Structure 1
């Protein structure tokens, strides 16, 4: 007899922050191997305090989808992180596998909140940091 399959709910107060992190971007798992039987998806909430950013990193073989719930984000990428895309509330973004990038909260007064989904899990490889001055238009406060 096959095992019974049922939906698994992760309550708001039970999000798991033991997933891989990069800098002060706080990733909290909702649907993931950390707190559900999921094996091929990571879906969670990512937040950056005002003016904060991640260090350069990539997500290995993972395809990443993001959705901005609140705030103004920017993703720096390319040679010396000289290219970027801006994201605002309601915007979606796709980040390809192995693409080095820096995630930034462009506001110095408001939190940035994303919903992020990636396959197969929240894999993070942190890379050597770059100075804030290398990121055009970025400021901490």
Structure 2
């Protein structure tokens, strides 16, 4: 006999923090294999405090989709992280598998919050860091 699978609600106060992290970019899962019956999806809240950023990283073979709830984010990518795209409240973003990138909060006063969905899980491979000065236009709080 198989166990019955039913909808699972993760309350805002119960977001799971045991998922993989990247420096100052804080990921908390709402739906994930870590704490629900989910097997092929990771869906969570990602935040960067004002002026904070992740180190360079990629998400292995996972495709990533993001939605900016509030703030001004930027993703640096490409050779020496010289390319970038900006995102604002209401924007969606897709990051391909194995693409090294750096996620930053471009504001020195306001938090950046986004929702991220990834399959099959929150796979994170952190890479060697780069100095802040290498990221065009970025500054810490």
Q: How does the TM-score come out when normalised to structure 1?
A: 0.98
Distance in 2 (CA, whole Å) between partners of 1:12 and 1:56 is 28
Instruction: Measure how far apart 1:2 and its partner are.
Output: 5.2
**Long gaps (5+) in structure 1:** none
The corresponding residue for 2:46 is 46
Q: Contact (CA 8 Å) 2:59, 2:122: kept in 1 or not?
A: yes
Counterparts of 1:18 and 1:8 in 2: how far apart (Å)? 18
CA distance in 1, matches of 2:40, 2:4: 19
User: What is residue 33 of structure 2 aligned with on the other side?
Assistant: 33
Q: Partner residue of 1:15?
A: 15
Aligned length: 141
Contact in 1 for aligned 2:5/2:37 (Cα 8 Å): no
Q: Which residue of 2 aligns with 1:102?
A: 102
- What are the equivalent positions in structure 2 for 1:50-69 lying under 5 Å apart? 50-69=50-69
**Could you tell me how far apart the structure 2 residues matched to 1:56 and 1:3 are?**
40
Gaps of 5+ in 2: none
Structure 1 ranges of 4+ moved more than 6 A = none
Instruction: Tell me, in whole angstroms, the C-alpha distance in 2 between the residues paired with 1:3 and 1:120.
Output: 22
3-state DSSP class of the match of 2:80? helix
Distance 1:119 1:16 in 2: 17
Task: State the Cα distance separating 1:35 from its structure 2 match.
Answer: 1.1
In the TM superposition, residue 22 of structure 1 has moved relative to its aligned partner by: 0.4
Instruction: Give the deviation of 1:34 after TM superposition.
Output: 1.1
